[in-house]
Chains A and B, each alone.
Chain A
């Protein structure tokens, strides 16, 4: 992206930034981080379709000036807020719920506290464990200078969630984070998850709009740091309303003999542009990503994934399934990157697209960038329609066309559902998709 003299946007200019930062009352080191990011933000131009990264994602309709930085003084009634889909019926160990970037609920069980686990909304954790936040914030794969949106996030991020699991501690109960957006709401949540050596945890994160018809903007980031021999099961469900702009940097790094199991559900938003990168930093690191995408209406979901093998003997396995209906669009660019010396790498990536209507479109661009000579890296992409013979077969046995289509869509996703070990997540995703499938003639 070129650096130029992009015009300031009044409600996000230097004056607005200074006022916002003053309101946060954060320590100097963080103010300096924000200031640096703000200067980057001001100096960068908005991405255009001339850049490879944005070539298929048209954001001309997005205008930042229509939104304001989060109002941290707005009153919230926590009791009136939804608790999301993923934690329904689950015995959770802690929960953070936010609305328009402001924390409404932040809790952790006494048992986990006693184990030394730190979990809560960003503001509270910063106040109590500033040194720990300073040690890890922006130290993983998240780069505030990646593009104008990541700089915007780094300068203005508000709240979000922080989890720290100490060495060799196993967190049995899942931890839950829910971001909500109201009318014209803005969410700039920063999620930071740190598992020390030998730690284990399950984290469920999700997003939703209070009203599906209302506009909103999310410009967020996720940083996941999995220490040596640690295990993290991470679920991220994006379920914004149909008028929400979603820009996200989702970055993970995995240590020696550690495992990151990442399930991703993308169902909502008007337009999503997500960079999901995982770096396998030390020998024996393993990452598995299960992605489920379902789009409808005029939705546009753009996922740019990267599995970066930095060390030898690491394995990665990314599987995405996307079903599209109406005039919706998906763009998926996947990259397996192998650094020099990362021998015995085993990397796999695949996307399967199911087009349910004539006017939906899926662009899949898998890629390999390999600088070692003893590796196994494979990738694949498929795109197809619902098989009319299968529909006919089901209808001949008494199913309606809609039931038949729904069955085929469920079957299509089964391969990825089979890899999701959390029953509640499987059910929430399966149900959300089944209710979205329309009747086709």
Chain B
């Protein structure tokens, strides 16, 4: 497993809010919600949709293409048409910064 990488200052993402970052040639969504940070692949497993452009709805994020939803903590698909989870990565706050560690 790779190391934690700093992706942004915590102040860059409002709470609640999200942003897409490129980490090791991979695009991930970093979500700031309820004082915590979460990280998941910027891809909807239904149709490769740009999940990072979707709306944050509590603990879920909605794909802008077809409305599939995913749990931001587990990546689990919570709403059709997606049935497969999207990959989640470790994310943490250290001081004023956000760090993520990608799953291989």
A and B assemble together: yes
CB neighbours of B49 from chain A (8 A): 49
Give the residues from 29 to 55 in chain B that come closer than 8 angstroms, CB to CB, to chain A. Answer: 43, 47-50
Tell me if A60 and B48 are in contact (CB < 8 A): no
Q: Is the interface of B mostly helix, strand, loop or mixed?
A: loop
Tell me if A55 and B47 are in contact (CB < 8 A): yes
Smallest distance from the beta carbon of B53 to chain A beta carbons, Å? 9
Tell me the bound Cα distance from A60 to B49 in angstroms: 13
Tell me the bound Cα distance from A58 to B43 in angstroms: 10
Interface size on B, residues (CB 8 A): 8
Tell me if B48 and A61 are in contact (CB < 8 A): no
Residue B94 interfacial (CB < 8 Å): no
CB neighbours of B47 from chain A (8 A): 55-56
Tell me if A49 and B50 are in contact (CB < 8 A): yes
Q: Which residue of A lies closest to B25 (CB)?
A: A61
CB neighbours of A60 from chain B (8 A): 22, 27
Tell me the bound Cα distance from A56 to B50 in angstroms: 10
CB neighbours of B43 from chain A (8 A): 58
Tell me the bound Cα distance from A311 to B43 in angstroms: 42
CB neighbours of A56 from chain B (8 A): 47-48
CB neighbours of A58 from chain B (8 A): 27, 43, 48
Tell me if B48 and A55 are in contact (CB < 8 A): yes
CB neighbours of A363 from chain B (8 A): 48
Smallest distance from the beta carbon of A196 to chain B beta carbons, Å? 44
Tell me the bound Cα distance from A60 to B43 in angstroms: 13
Smallest distance from the beta carbon of B20 to chain A beta carbons, Å? 9
Q: Which residue of B lies closest to A48 (CB)?
A: B50
Q: Which residue of A lies closest to B45 (CB)?
A: A361
Give the residues from 42 to 56 in chain A that come closer than 8 angstroms, CB to CB, to chain B. Answer: 49, 55-56
CB neighbours of A61 from chain B (8 A): 22, 25, 27
CB neighbours of B48 from chain A (8 A): 49, 55-56, 58, 363
Tell me the bound Cα distance from A130 to B47 in angstroms: 47
CB neighbours of B22 from chain A (8 A): 60-61
CB neighbours of A298 from chain B (8 A): 25
Shortest 6 CB-CB distances between A and B: which pairs? A56-B48, A49-B50, A61-B25, A60-B27, A61-B22, A55-B48
Residues of B that sit less than 8 Å from A by CB: 22, 25, 27, 43, 47-50
Q: List 5 A-B contacts (CB under 8 A).
A: A49-B48, A55-B47, A55-B48, A56-B47, A56-B48
- Contacts A56-B47, A60-B22, A61-B27 known; list 6 others, CB within 8 Å: A49-B48, A49-B50, A55-B47, A58-B48, A61-B22, A61-B25
